[in-house]
Amino acid sequence: MRTLPTGRAKVKAFYATLHDASGVLGKVGDEILFFGDDGSITAYDAALAPHICVLGETSIADCQQVMDRLHGGAVGVCLTRRQEVR
């Protein structure tokens, strides 16, 4: 019996805020890191839990942003959306 090769695990990254800094939270190896938009890198540990707010997965948020732009931005989406009220 042969073992089938498996693909690499998908890397997930999340938009997050740490204190007042915005950035991306991701796992590199066995370590969870916060990559600040200012270039800082902070190792995440349990003591930071009260100070971090995870906002959403980057791939989903970026895809939604592209789709909104294709449909006229936030205003275009709101103005052309079908209203369900009859």
Collapsing DSSP to helix, strand or coil, 77 comes out as helix
Please check the confidence at residue 30 and state whether its pLDDT lies above 90: no
Give the whole-angstrom CA distance, residue 29 versus residue 50.
23
Lowest mean pLDDT among 10-19, 30-39, 50-59: 10-19
Lowest mean pLDDT among 24-28, 44-48, 56-60, 74-78: 74-78
Please check the confidence at residue 3 and state whether its pLDDT lies above 80: no
Give the whole-angstrom CA distance, residue 53 versus residue 32.
14
pLDDT value at residue 6 = 66
- How does the average pLDDT of the chain come out, rounded? 84
- Tell me the pLDDT band of 28, cut-offs 50, 70 and 90: confident
Higher pLDDT residue, 69 or 42? Answer: 42
* Token representation of residue 24: 């991306």
Domain ranges (residues) in the chain: 13-80
Cα separations in angstroms, 15 against 24, 28, 45: 5, 15, 17
